[in-house]
Amino acid sequence: MLDTQPDEGYTTADGRKIGGVAMEMKNITLRFGGVVAIKDISFDIRWGEVRAIIGPNGAGKSSMLNVISGFYNPQEGEVIYKGYRRPRMRPYQVARTGIARTFQNIALFEGMSVLDNIMTGRLNHMKANIFQQAMWWGKAQKEEEENREKVEKVIDFLEIQHIRKTPVARLPYGLKKRVELARALAAEPSILLLDEPMAGMNVEEKEDMCRFILDVNDEFGTTIVLIEHDMGVVMDLSDRVVVMDYGKKIGDGTPDEVRNNEEVIKAYLGVTDD
Amino acid sequence: MPDTLLFAMEAAANGLTAGVMYALVALGFVLIFKASGIFNFSQGVMALFAALTLVGLQSGQIPFAHLINAIFGTRLHYFGFTLPTLAAIAGTVVVMIVFAWLVERYIFRHLVNQEPIILFMATIGLAYFLEGLGDLMWGAEVKRLDVGIPQGMSLAVDETTFNWFGYGFYMDTLELWAALIAAILVGALVVFSQYTKQGRALRAVADDHQAALSVGISLRFIWVLVWSLAGIVALVAGMMWGAKSGVQFSLSLIALKALPVLILGGFTSIPGAIVGGLIIGVGEKLFDFFMGPLIGGATENWFAYMLALVFLLFRPQGLFGEKIIERV
């Protein structure tokens, strides 16, 4: 039985279709020893939307993303995904349910080329058995062609043709971030989690990244959850925003609603009560 | 053709077969080091243990017979039947896979995210444990291992070379077979790591655990897989060296020969292990042939280590190891 009732969603001002609830976080609490990283937070993510999680340093944003991707298991609360309560899972199992992610401090396979890195994103789409693969026979052949095609599409889309053979370790920071995004995209995820995709970038790189994120959402209809510091970027990109502070949720809504939320202003600007 | 050249060629040919064997032992190290960053000190003992198990299964020995006899006062030693070699090999493979699973389950699962030195220490412990376990299970005496490969001078090589050069090379049949089997195994491993999904996953895990998890790779599965592979490589190495010089403790010391190979080839490169093995094998034979008489012989004992030392000074990542790039 479905734990949540499906609803139809809506259409945004710029004409994108936002679907029903894809994932719902219910009363999530996460503790490390005595430290409470996330305190009783609930929110939902809809199909096709760009959902941002913002907040000052140490607010628990990354922890939240790690809960979604299964890297942390919360002590309390539950995650409802595609209508069903998700059991305790390991990160690789979560990845296999169609949730791809990037990391704040880039986790790429440094020894491999850009192409190989992106190919690893396709691992879960390879079904041929080990002998077929080794012998390049049967199912393996067709599968490899399909995978190559998908990977080429991603490479094209993110405009990284010129570095496809380059070992990742040699790339500058901004391009590494883009390759990481490419690897996540190659998995054709239902939900894409981006942990500070624009951290440490210059203005030009930021603009590029913004454009890619919007295009991914627009063209593939990928649901995107992102964490970002840069308020301007977040407000431009996202459909809805969750604001966290000290592990608590202090705001949730459209960028405009959040911008005018008093608690949010207080957390960001440090207004004192008097 | 001058005699010296012929003798040198003979030495080099023998070096090649020895080199393939070195490469085989080194591969066991490379597999585990690539996937988990663990330098597996117990690789040599794994070869010994695999060979002991193989002999035990083959001859129908009762495991832990000495222990059982000591406790219950019985006089059990053999089941009274023997297994065909292939069945014994299959049985040993199963034992090595179970061993891999146990190692992951009871040792390395608890040491995730520890420093490399801690993992290294754990494998030293494992080496001693396995050595003791092998003795306890199968007894400590020197055993003869016969896997059906003929020994002695290869007449075919002798004849062919005699027809070509008028001088017959001496090569051991067993060593030729060993080289052939090792070459097949090495080829299979290369295909596995380069062309299969599991091979790609293995390389991914070697590079970054977090990233591997995020694309849906199960670390535990990969670890059990590489330890199983290393176990199978150890079995083949143990089998060949065991058939040559008996199954005994000194078998575990072949691991020491793999160290210079690793330094030459790089700890993370499968082709490196192969080329490194060949260079050392041929190098030590030729060096001994040309320089041995001048400096009193027995250079095979130290040549490999000296070569490794030179490499450490000038090319610490080895011939094929990943370049050490430092971005500042």
pLDDT in tens, B261-289: 988 888 878 888 889 999 999 999 999 99
| A91 close to B185: Cβ distance less than 8 angstroms | no
pLDDT band at A7 (very low <50, low <70, confident <90, very high): low
pLDDT band at A273 (very low <50, low <70, confident <90, very high): low
pLDDT at position A270 is 67
Residue A189: list chain B partners with CB under 8 A. none
Contacts of B230 (CB under 8 A, 6+ apart): B28, B29, B31, B32, B40, B43, B46, B100
* Better-predicted residue by pLDDT, A8 or B66: B66
Q: In this model, does residue A239 exceed pLDDT 80? A: yes
pLDDT band at A10 (very low <50, low <70, confident <90, very high): confident
Q: What average pLDDT does the segment B124-153 reach?
A: 88
> Residue B228 corresponds to which amino acid?
S
| B246 close to B257: Cβ distance less than 8 angstroms | no
H helices of B37-154, in order, are 43-59, 65-72, 85-106, 116-138
pLDDT at position A1 is 45
Interface touch B325/A170, C-beta < 8 Å: yes
Q: Which of B59, B62, B53 is nearest to B134 (CA)?
A: B53
A58 found inside a domain = yes
A1 found inside a domain = yes
Note whether A177 contacts B: Cβ–Cβ < 8 A. Answer: no
Q: Which residue in B191, B205, B210, B215 has the most chain A C-beta atoms within 10 A of its own C-beta, making it the best mutation to test that interface?
A: B215
Range of the structural domain that residue A212 is part of = 1-98+191-216+223-274
pLDDT band at B1 (very low <50, low <70, confident <90, very high): low
With a pLDDT cut of 70, the percent of chain B lying above it is: 97
Q: Which sign does the torsion angle of CA A158, A164, A166, A167 carry? A: positive
pLDDT band at B328 (very low <50, low <70, confident <90, very high): low
Query: Helix, strand or coil for residue A267?
Result: helix
Average model confidence (pLDDT) across chain B: 87
With a pLDDT cut of 90, the percent of chain B lying above it is: 28
Q: Which of B222, B211, B193 is nearest to A186 (CA)?
A: B211
Q: In residues, how long is chain A?
A: 274
A162 found inside a domain = no
Q: How many CB atoms lie within 10 A of CB B227?
A: 27
* Better-predicted residue by pLDDT, B321 or A46: A46
pLDDT band at B327 (very low <50, low <70, confident <90, very high): low
How many structural domains comprise chain A?
A: 1
Residue A92: list chain B partners with CB under 8 A. 212-213, 216-219
pLDDT band at A127 (very low <50, low <70, confident <90, very high): confident
Q: Which of A58, A82, A65, A83 is nearest to A28 (CA)?
A: A65
A18 found inside a domain = yes
The two structure tokens encoding residue A180? 């990481």
Angle at A56 between CA A50 and CA A59, to 5 degrees: 85
* Better-predicted residue by pLDDT, A21 or B195: A21
The two structure tokens encoding residue A109? 């396979």
Q: What average pLDDT does the segment B118-126 reach?
A: 93
Q: What average pLDDT does the segment A176-198 reach?
A: 93
CB contacts < 8 A, A to B, total: 91
A78 found inside a domain = yes
Strand A17-18 vs strand A248-253: parallel, antiparallel, or unpaired? Answer: unpaired
Q: What average pLDDT does the segment A195-211 reach?
A: 88
Q: In this model, does residue B257 exceed pLDDT 60? A: yes
A151 found inside a domain = no
- H or E segment at A245? strand A240-245
Contacts of A261 (CB under 8 A, 6+ apart): A243, A250, A251, A253
> Residue B127 corresponds to which amino acid?
A
Q: Which residue has the tokens 């690793």?
A: B262
Residue A89: list chain B partners with CB under 8 A. none
**CATH number for the domain that contains residue A32:** 3.40.50.300
A68 found inside a domain = yes
> Residue B237 corresponds to which amino acid?
A
ipTM: 0.84
H helices of A53-172, in order, are 61-68, 91-96, 114-120, 130-135, 139-157
Where is average pLDDT lowest: A58-62, A153-157, B152-156, B305-309? B152-156
| B240 close to B21: Cβ distance less than 8 angstroms | yes
A173 found inside a domain = no
Residue A107: list chain B partners with CB under 8 A. 208, 210-211, 214
pLDDT at position B53 is 94
Q: Which residue in A73, A96, A123 has the most chain B C-beta atoms within 10 A of its own C-beta, making it the best mutation to test that interface?
A: A123
Q: Which of A83, A69, A4, A112 is nearest to B214 (CA)?
A: A69
